[in-house]
Structure 1
Amino acid sequence: MGNIIHVENVFFKRDERMILSDIHWDVNTGEHWAMIGLNGAGKTTLLKMINGYMWPVAGTGATIEVLGKRFGSVDLRELRKSIGWVSTSLTDSISPSHTVIDVVMSGKFATFGLYDSVANQDKEKAMVILTKLGAKHTAERRFGVCSQGEKQKIMISRALMANPKLLILDEPCTGLDIYSRENLLLAIDALGKQPNGPTMIYVTHHIEEVCPIFTHALIMKEGQVVAAGTKDKVITDTILSDGLGLPLEVEWNLGRAWVKLREELEVRS
């Protein structure tokens, strides 16, 4: 298997506070990963580093390779064209007046609006992607009138327009009701089964969102890796309890992990 991501000896410090400490992580072809941790665990910082927006502390012997390209000897602007990143902050950057089909096609140019001329095949490709994600019916709507769940499918479609080899889904179910969440997770699961599709990293702190297509999990806590490996070996009572700071019990159902408290908690001051 080839390396999609290789991170070694990575440290990151901000205002004398260590945000990431001695991170080691490998993602290989054929794997889809869930990245799990509480807010402030360092997930977003690590992802920004993988995208080349932040740099490790110098002098630590840090190595970052993404899609076979080693940082320090690669044009990051070109590399980012092969990485799709879907997050709420990007969704907020889209004008509500744009039509959905234009929003999706803009992904080809990595812009937040459609300012370049497009070919018929671009529109056809956008429609195919929207159809696969169950959002074809939104194509001619204005982006601003779409539901939150529809917007997430549209933003994933936009990311797929550039044929990324790596797709990062940063808490895509935030703000969704249970119906919209399950509908989106079905679409993500189907996307992961497509031949020649992108390697996916799914960022969350809700364990039940890790759908069956995800093969591996990375648990982070206070800027460190608690565990990384196949999800059945990582998403366990002991490791999750340590990573999330609660006495948790894991139950598996329909290929997904569901957690519950093992004991009643006391109010902490």
Structure 2
Amino acid sequence: MSVIEVQDMSWVRGDKQILKHINWQVGAGEHWTIIGLNGSGKTSLLKMVTGYEWPTRGKIRVLGNTYGECEIQQVRKSIGWVSSALRDEIYPSDRAIDVVISGKFASIGIWQAIDKSDRERALQLLTRLGCSRLATAHYGTLSQGEKQKVLLARALMAEPKLLILDEPCFGLDIRAREQLLSEISKMGSAADTPAILYVTHHIEEILPIFTHVLLLREGEVVAAGLKRDVLTSDNLQRAFGLPVTVEWAEERPWIKIGKNRAW
């Protein structure tokens, strides 16, 4: 079963076409990175995949469910989502372990009854991400990097079948970024990890665990497929509108800007 199938999908708002004839498929066991400049359609595509916006034309099938023929709220319960925007919505006074538990209910705060097994699972997830020491700390006292790890544990609490990481390194300094990427790498290497969509506009964040790349420009697909096939200098120049070259080190791509500054 494919995790995501998008067929000839377009989205128009007013007189602006935001997404244009998107065709894309994510298979089981694949971890994708979605790359593009601001305004390229990354967030809009995520909204379509999670059913928060509806395409003007085309079809979307997620986790075996065809949108328009299923209960989207039920589908969302199988999707974990981490974003920098969510980081600022959590109550500062909540303890980290409670933030993680809230992921079971996809809520901000805990409003339902919980039991011992919920706390045990939350602590296991924090331990898995190397931050069990934060369990009783107030969320508002954590560093930005620590908050992102807690939110990652929260996203895993409901045992999702699809995990969306929407610019999780936004606002982090280089040390916090690399620490978070290290934890994502460990998590992504585990046998029970769900399919991952990692959204960024920094290609150096594409870790070895990511198998495929979707490259967007102005709402259109520039290229999609295995990362080595997609992350070529020609494709990135088309996507970014810059003279660039790509170098690989430690199985991660790094971009260099050319001397042509006419842009």
Q: State the Cα distance separating 1:262 from its structure 2 match.
A: 2.0
Q: Which of the residues 158, 163, 175 maps onto 1:162? A: 158
Q: What SS does the corresponding residue of 2:4 show, helix, strand or coil?
A: strand
Q: Are positions 1:134 and 2:133 aligned together?
A: no
Aligned residue-pair number? 263
What is residue 68 of structure 1 aligned with on the other side?
Answer: 64
Q: Which runs of 5+ in 1 are unaligned?
A: none
* Amino acid in the other structure paired with 2:51: G
What is residue 92 of structure 1 aligned with on the other side?
Answer: 88
- d(CA) in 1 for partners of 2:154, 2:130: 14
- d(CA) in 2 for partners of 1:178, 1:261: 20
What is residue 10 of structure 1 aligned with on the other side?
Answer: 9
Q: What SS does the corresponding residue of 1:53 show, helix, strand or coil?
A: coil
Contact 2:29 2:194 in 1 (8 A): no
| TM-score, structure 2 as length reference | 0.98
Query: Greater shift after overlay, 79-88 or 115-124?
Result: 115-124
What is residue 173 of structure 1 aligned with on the other side?
Answer: 169
Q: Which of the residues 202, 210, 220 maps onto 2:198? A: 202
Q: Are positions 1:182 and 2:181 aligned together?
A: no
- d(CA) in 2 for partners of 1:244, 1:231: 17
Q: What SS does the corresponding residue of 1:187 show, helix, strand or coil?
A: helix
* Amino acid in the other structure paired with 2:102: S
* Amino acid in the other structure paired with 2:97: I
- CA deviation map 1:80-124 (0-9, x unaligned): 000011111211110101000000001111111012221111111
What is residue 258 of structure 1 aligned with on the other side?
Answer: 254
What is residue 216 of structure 1 aligned with on the other side?
Answer: 212
What is residue 145 of structure 1 aligned with on the other side?
Answer: 141
Percent pairwise identity: 50
- d(CA) in 2 for partners of 1:104, 1:119: 14
* Amino acid in the other structure paired with 2:21: D
Q: What SS does the corresponding residue of 1:182 show, helix, strand or coil?
A: helix
Q: State the Cα distance separating 1:137 from its structure 2 match.
A: 1.4
Write out the 4+ residue segments of structure 1 that deviate beyond 4 Å after TM superposition.
none
Q: Which runs of 5+ in 2 are unaligned?
A: none
| TM-score, structure 1 as length reference | 0.96
